């Protein structure tokens, strides 16, 4: 979590933020007018009291009394209508702006390349999209409410006081400047203290999160006591910070009340004398006393808004760093003109992919200066099945990520069917891609929903057909609710093998020309493994495919095996040829074979 600095108000940033409120121009206008009315009417009530004291008590007349009552009731009714208007309008602005920014943020998250997610933690992004945006919209709408109300109320009170008795007005208002200074000082301190509480709170949330997710690991490593100790440490800090924040509020309020009382005392003292000398009416004195008390609330509110704006600015900066992020991989303008953009694609009049792939002198680095691939060349025929093997970190996933255009080459080109993929929209490749991840992610919902995720308009027949192709139909049909079985969060209600089969179905339902399989390392039972082997065989048929292989038994029948080391192909050929070569692959294969045999014996 970043430090929130006490910076000056950044006008440009707030202008940018307010631009999201453009669709709510009418609501903003209503809110400003309503709040100005509320402020003025609030300042009229003490005048009503003055009038009542000066006229009704001393000189009672039924007609005047009735008129007074009617006017009073009218003002109260107007305030009630205003209250309705202000709450509904401010609420509309708050929710509307949050909706607009969240939508744009979500759209951005869809188009940002994988590289963006490499350096942004999930928790960071979630906090931006939820709490930061909520806080900003709240600050803007309710802050505006308090601001307009405060300014008009204070302005009206000042004008009325000066008109009634300018000398007494100046004397009573002399407590305002120290009040403003003290309010600013305390509001800043209070806000800082609460900010600290929030920071610790996010650590507590993260702690809970890690603890729940890592419950199994904790138990196996007997870390319970240590975890508890660390947790107590954070909660203790939270307690201390919260008490500090509350103490500051507890000191601030009596100071405001005292200053308010001094103002009232000044009014009574100097005003009382004027009343005794018959220079001023009782009613005016009472109005003055009411005004001094009424004056303090907006000062407190305005100081709070000012402090809140400074702090909310940090939220605004973080939200806009996401909203204004320019994706590293973008379709060129001439391409979007021809094919439309991500959210509004035009007719797909691009060539169908057959699946011939060429890496031409491709170099790539995730971080500047550290080349993972250097002058990498590869030619894959359409429909050819390729397996990538090699030690961990050798660059297998990188090759595949580049082919999928999740990242783009730093140097060199990648061609599909002889076309440089950078001269086509990203969706051209993505639409023709089937990718089964090493640990497939299923979304909460039913098995059917998850398979349909690969092709939103898929019919039930297509879903069953895809499931049959990947040998998943049998196990799905045996479940009590069949295709309507809920998979749980992240597919947690299914076994690893079942999850894999469903992700196969999801990938093949769109009939992709290029198929990528990042083979699972986690062990599954022999029966399921056999089913998956058979599935792989069927799915790869006639498609250009890349398998990142961990179990070498899977790839015995592929057309070509590439042994990758430090981003280079060090051996290539089919299974038999590579074994005959007695090189790296031979060693890898025999080691794995011996390992599997000894595991089998031990079991």
Ligand X SMILES: Nc1ncnc2c1ncn2[C@@H]1O[C@H](COP(=O)(O)OP(=O)(O)OP(=O)(O)O)[C@@H](O)[C@H]1O
Shortest approach of ligand X to residue 401 CB, angstroms? Answer: 7
**Alpha-carbon gap, residue 160 to 290, rounded angstroms:** 12
- Taking CB under 6 A as the criterion, which residues in 440-479 touch ligand X? none
Element holding 373 (H helix, E strand): strand 371-380
Q: What is the DSSP letter of 559?
A: S
**Alpha-carbon gap, residue 417 to 355, rounded angstroms:** 6
Of residues 120 and 538, the one with the C-beta less far from ligand X: 120
- Taking CB under 6 A as the criterion, which residues in 201-230 touch ligand X? none
Shortest approach of ligand X to residue 113 CB, angstroms? Answer: 11
Of residues 123 and 351, the one with the C-beta less far from ligand X: 123
What does the per-residue mask of binding to ligand X show for 498-527, with x meaning CB under 6 A? ------------------------------
Tokens of 492: 């947690």
Tokens of 206: 């993260």
Shortest approach of ligand X to residue 86 CB, angstroms? Answer: 49
Residues in the chain: 603
Element holding 98 (H helix, E strand): helix 62-111
Of residues 157 and 548, the one with the C-beta less far from ligand X: 548
**Alpha-carbon gap, residue 57 to 411, rounded angstroms:** 91
Contact 168, 271 (CB under 8 A): yes
**Alpha-carbon gap, residue 45 to 40, rounded angstroms:** 9
Of residues 156 and 398, the one with the C-beta less far from ligand X: 398
Count of positions on this chain that bind ligand X (CB under 6 A): 12
- Taking CB under 6 A as the criterion, which residues in 344-403 touch ligand X? 366-367, 372, 390, 392-398
**Alpha-carbon gap, residue 336 to 346, rounded angstroms:** 9
State residue 432 phi and psi, 5-degree precision.
-105, 15
Q: 151: closest CA among 51, 313, 24, 35? A: 35
Shortest approach of ligand X to residue 543 CB, angstroms? Answer: 21
Of residues 397 and 444, the one with the C-beta less far from ligand X: 397
Of residues 149 and 546, the one with the C-beta less far from ligand X: 546
Q: From the list 6, 118, 328, 474, which residue makes contact with ligand X (rule: CB under 6 A)?
A: 118
Give the sheet arrangement for strand 357-365, strand by strand. 371-380, 357-365, 411-416, 419-420
Shortest approach of ligand X to residue 438 CB, angstroms? Answer: 8
Shortest approach of ligand X to residue 397 CB, angstroms? Answer: 3
Of residues 24 and 364, the one with the C-beta less far from ligand X: 364
Shortest approach of ligand X to residue 522 CB, angstroms? Answer: 13
Tokens of 453: 């995720």
Of residues 302 and 402, the one with the C-beta less far from ligand X: 402
Shortest approach of ligand X to residue 531 CB, angstroms? Answer: 24
Q: What is the DSSP letter of 325?
A: P
Applying CB under 6 A, the residues found at the interface with ligand X are 118, 366-367, 372, 390, 392-398
């Amino acid at each position: 979590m970043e430090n929130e600095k006490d910076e000056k108000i950044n006008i440009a940033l707030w202008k940018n933020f307010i631009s999201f409120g453009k669709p709510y121009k009418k609501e903003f206008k209503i809110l400003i007018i309503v709040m100005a009315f509320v402020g003025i009417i609030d300042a009229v009530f003490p005048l009503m009291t003055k009038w009542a004291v000066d006229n009704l008590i001393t000189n009672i007349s039924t007609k005047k009394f009735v008129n007074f009552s009617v006017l009073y009731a009218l003002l109260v009714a107007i305030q009630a209508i205003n209250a309705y208007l202000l709450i509904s309008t401010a609420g509309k602005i708050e929710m509307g702006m949050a909706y607009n920014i969240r939508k744009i943020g979500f759209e951005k998250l869809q188009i940002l390349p994988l590289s963006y997610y490499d350096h942004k933690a999930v928790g960071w992004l979630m906090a931006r999209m939820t709490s930061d945006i909520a806080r900003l919209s709240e600050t803007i709408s309710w802050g505006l409410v308090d601001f307009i109300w405060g300014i008009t109320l204070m302005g009206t009170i000042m004008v009325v006081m000066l008109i009634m008795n300018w000398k007494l007005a100046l004397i009573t208002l002399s407590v305002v400047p120290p009040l403003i200074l003290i309010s600013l000082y305390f509001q800043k301190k209070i806000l800082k203290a609460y900010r600290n509480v929030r920071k610790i709170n996010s650590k507590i949330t993260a702690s809970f999160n890690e603890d729940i997710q890592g419950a199994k690991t904790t138990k196996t490593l007997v870390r319970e006591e240590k975890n508890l100790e660390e947790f107590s440490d954070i909660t203790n800090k939270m307690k201390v910070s919260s008490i500090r924040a509350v103490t500051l509020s507890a000191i601030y309020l009596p100071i405001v009340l005292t200053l308010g009382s001094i103002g009232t005392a000044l009014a009574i003292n100097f005003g009382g004398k004027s009343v005794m000398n018959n220079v001023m009416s009782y009613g005016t004195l009472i109005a003055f006393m009411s005004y001094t008390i009424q004056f303090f609330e907006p000062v407190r509110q305005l100081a709070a808004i000012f402090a809140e704006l400074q702090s909310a600015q940090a939220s605004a900066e973080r939200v806009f760093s996401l909203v204004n992020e320019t994706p590293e991989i973008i379709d060129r303008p001439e391409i979007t003109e021809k094919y439309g953009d991500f959210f509004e694609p035009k007719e797909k009049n691009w060539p169908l992919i057959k699946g011939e792939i060429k890496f031409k002198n491709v170099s790539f680095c995730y971080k500047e200066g550290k080349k993972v691939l250097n002058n990498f060349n590869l030619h894959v025929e359409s429909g050819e099945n390729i397996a990538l093997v090699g030690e961990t970190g050798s660059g297998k996933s990188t090759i595949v990520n580049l082919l999928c255009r999740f990242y783009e080459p730093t140097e060199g080109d990648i061609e599909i069917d002889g076309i440089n993929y950078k001269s086509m929209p990203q969706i051209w490749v993505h639409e023709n891609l089937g990718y089964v991840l090493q640990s497939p992610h299923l979304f909460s919902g039913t098995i059917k929903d998850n398979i349909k995720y690969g092709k939103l308009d898929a019919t039930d027949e297509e879903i069953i057909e895809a499931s049959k192709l990947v040998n998943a139909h049998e196990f799905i049909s045996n479940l009590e609710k069949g295709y309507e079985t809920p998979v749980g969060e992240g597919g947690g209600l299914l076994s690893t093998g079942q999850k894999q089969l469903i992700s196969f179905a999801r990938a093949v339902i769109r009939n992709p020309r290029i198929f990528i399989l990042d083979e699972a390392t986690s062990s599954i039972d022999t029966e399921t493994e056999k089913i998956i082997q058979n599935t792989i065989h069927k799915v790869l048929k006639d498609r250009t495919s890349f398998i990142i292989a961990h179990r070498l038994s899977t790839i015995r029948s592929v057309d070509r095996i590439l042994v990758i080391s430090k981003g280079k192909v060090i051996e290539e050929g089919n299974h038999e040829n590579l074994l005959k070569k007695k090189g790296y692959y031979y060693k890898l294969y025999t080691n794995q074979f011996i390992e599997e045999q000894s595991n089998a014996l031990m079991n």
